[in-house]
Structure 1
C-alpha cells in the first residue's frame, strides 16, 4: 500500500538548465539521472528523491512545495547562504520569521526559493 511506498516530490522548472545549475551550485546536489530529456532526478537521504521537469507552469504556486528535515538548521542555513541562497522573511498571521527563521511549538523552519520560483523549506523539529 501507499504507506509503505517511497515518495518522490515533483517540482516544475521553466528552464531545466537553470534549475540544474541552481540545485548543483547552490544546494550541492547532482542529478542522478534524467527520466526524460527535460528533467532531472535527485536522490536524497533515506530513499527520498525529487524530480524537476520543464514546464511553463513553474513558479506559479504560492505554497511550500518541498522541504528537507535537518538536525541543525542554523548550520544548514549558514552553508546555503555561503552558496548564495537567500532565505525569505514572512510576517503574516500564523507565520513570522526573524532572520529567515520561524519558530513555534513543532520546531524551526526557514524558507527559500529555487531558481524557478518554487518555495522550499528546511525544518528542524524541536
Structure 2
C-alpha cells in the first residue's frame, strides 16, 4: 500500500491572489503549476497545493510544518518579511518570543495570509538527520 505514492500538503485560501503573493513575498516561491484547482508550490521537497476555499483559516491547529536546521535564522528572515509569530501559554508548553523549547527541540508558529497555522521547527540533530535519511530513502 502506498509504495508508489506521493504525499502533499493542502492549504485553503479565501483570497487566492493574496495567498499567492504571500507564498511569493514571504517564502520567495512561485508556483510550479497553476490551474483552476489552485497553485502548487514545492517547499522542503514537499508539494503544497494552495487552493481557493471559503473555509481557509478555520482550523486552529497546525496545518503545515517546515523543519529547519536553524530556527533563529529562519525566524529572523520571516520577521523581516512581516511575519508575526504566535504566542502560546498552554499546559503542555509556553512560548517565549514566539519560540517553544522542548528538551532541545525548538519550534514556532505563524499564520499565513489566509489564517492557516504554519509551524517551523528545529529538531535536534539526530531527528533532523533521521528525517533527511527517510526522505532520501524514499527518493525525495
Structure-1-length-normalised TM-score: 0.92
SS at match of 1:19: helix
Structure 2 residue 14 is the aligned partner of structure 1 residue 39: no
- Assess if the C-alpha contact under 8 Å between 1:58 and 1:116 holds in 2: yes
Q: Distance in 1 between matches of 2:67 and 2:54?
A: 29
Q: What is the rounded CA distance, in whole Å, between the counterparts of 1:12 and 1:109 in structure 2?
A: 23
How far did residue 38 of structure 1 move?
A: 5.2
Structure 2 gaps, min length 5 = 125-140
Mark the structure with the bigger radius of gyration: 2
Matches within 5 A, 1:25-104: 25-34=25-34, 36-37=35-36, 39-46=38-45, 48-104=46-102
Cα gap change, 1:66 to 1:106, in 2 (>3 Å): farther
**Count of paired positions:** 124
CA shift, 1:2, in A, is: 2.3
Q: Is the 8 A contact 2:44 2:66 kept in 1?
A: no
Cα distance in 2 for residues equivalent to 1:102 and 1:3: 35
Q: How many Å separate the matches in 1 of 2:5 and 2:98? A: 33
Q: Is the contact between residue 112 and residue 119 of structure 1 (CA under 8 Å) also seen in structure 2?
A: yes
Write out the 4+ residue segments of structure 1 that deviate beyond 4 Å after TM superposition.
none
The answer to whether the 8 A contact 1:13-1:52 is kept is yes
Shift of 1:18: 0.4
More strand by share: 1
Q: Deviations over 1:34-70 (max 9, x none)?
A: 1x32511001233x11000001111100100001100
Cα distance change, pair 92–41 in 1 and its aligned pair in 2 (3 A): same
Q: CA separation of 1:38/1:6 partners in 2, compared to 1, >3 Å: closer, same or farther? A: closer
